[in-house]
Amino acid sequence: MISRFSIPTQILLGPGAVREIPDLVRSLGRRRPLIVTDAGVVRAGLVERVTGPFRDAGLSWAVFDGVHPNPVEEDVAAGLMAYRDGGCDLVLALGGGSPLDAGKGIRLKVTHPLPLEDYEAGRGGADRIGPDVPPMIAVPTTAGTGSEVGRSAVFTFRTLGRKSLIFSPHLMPSFAVADPELTVGLPPYLTAATGMDALTHNLESYLSTSYHPICDAIARGGIRLVAQHLRRAVRCGADLDARQGMLMAAMMGATAFQKDLGAAHSLAHPLSTVAGVHHGLANAVVLPHVLAFNAHAAAAKLRDVAEDLGVEVAGLSDAAAARKAVDAVRALNREIGIPERLSQVGVTGEMIPELSRKAMEDGCHRTNPRPCTKEDMADLYRKAL
């Protein structure tokens, strides 16, 4: 079997990295970015933080701040109009996963005339996406999705009535600029939820059944970084070292998950669309249950996970070490203030049939180490309820 590996993103990481952006813009041969962001990022004053050095560098810019929390196709249409009206020549996406994904959609539509839904991955859209897109600089303000190093974007298509993925290597940002100073204002509950999304990416990609030893090594490194930094980032938001560790863990998670994910993400996706639960929070609550479900099928790998999470497993059987990994994730959730039960975040028993049907339709569980049936999904929801 022939495998194909690709880890090409250029990343600038460290306090003050945003001050390098004017040089990056120039190195791309461009002069006027469209800043794609959302109202929360504007309120937090982060647009000024990023554009501060622009004036001295002789750069002008335009701002589109209308991205919704779960971007819809209209966000892309409005952003495209702002790009054209503003005479822009590259996209600078600033925010959590939503502005970053919207930025990818906007750069795509600058040169690709079909309706956005025609580029949907599930319908062969990747083949319709060529390399002729304007450059993009991705600047994350959360440490979770890692979309800044990813080749995909998720949109809610009203026409299709569901969330869907657009994917192409050509959508990989030209540069990711990960500056921990931009994440210090993120409140503890969002730091915890987005951080658990990063952990889930690393963990599920490590456990997934696909073959990708490079991603396995990255994923284990990402798990260790989360174990080292997440508690501190939640407890002390101004700790730049912890913030930087989590930014790196998020980028490693997104790099690793080109190896694929698992059942936690299949359970989490409908929790957002049906019950409005934050994506990272949904993953965090279901993750210990999914790991317990996988414990037998992936005992040796869960032993590695336990070690990476800092648990002493010497002398234990793989099965016992796997149980320790589940306990360690539960304990981490508790320490960073993640609610234990889905019922605490608005999910009800009546939702479970719809949730489990949608979880089965979601592709992520296909690489879960233990195959899942619809009844397994319902059972996992009930356990987490």
Sites of contact with Fe ion (CB under 5 A): 197
C-beta of residue 112 within 8 angstroms of C-beta of residue 128: yes
Residue 35: which H helix or E strand, with range?
strand 33-36
Q: Smallest Cα–Cα separation from 12: which of 170, 139, 135, 107?
A: 139
Nearer to Fe ion, 134 or 280 (CB): 280
Q: Could you tell me the smallest distance in angstroms from the CB atom of residue 334 to Fe ion?
A: 21
| Least CB distance to Fe ion at residue 282 (A) | 9
State the residue number with the nearest CB to Fe ion.
197
- Separation of alpha carbons 250 and 183, rounded Å: 13
Q: What is residue 74's three-state secondary structure?
A: helix
Question: Residue 336 and residue 253: Cα distance in Å, rounded?
Answer: 19
CB of 342 to Fe ion, least distance (A): 17
Tokens of 360: 């089965």
Whole-number Å distance between alpha carbons of 231 and 16? 23
Q: Which is nearer to Fe ion, 70 or 86 (CB)?
A: 70
Min. distance of Cβ 345 from Fe ion in angstroms?
16
- Of 181 and 197, nearer to Fe ion (C-beta) is 197
Is 256 within 8 Å of 201 (Cβ atoms)? yes
CB of 371 to Fe ion, least distance (A): 21
- The distance from CA 250 to its chain's CA centroid, rounded to whole angstroms, is 7
Q: Are 28 and 91 in contact (CB under 8 A)?
A: no
Name the minimum Å distance from CB 222 to Fe ion: 13
Which of residues 24 and 384 has its CB atom nearest to Fe ion in the complex?
A: 384
Residue 246 CB, nearest distance to Fe ion (Å)? 14
Nearer to Fe ion among residue 30 and residue 289 (C-beta): 289
Using DSSP's 3-state secondary structure scheme, residue 384 falls into helix
Could you tell me the two tokens for 270? 């409908």
**Strand, coil or helix: 79:** helix
Instruction: Pick between residue 197 and residue 376 the one whose CB is nearest to Fe ion.
Output: 197
Distance of alpha carbon 193 from alpha carbon 336, whole angstroms = 9
Residue number, 76 or 193, with CB nearest to Fe ion = 193
Cα atoms found within 13 Å of the Cα of residue 228, Cβ hemisphere only: 16
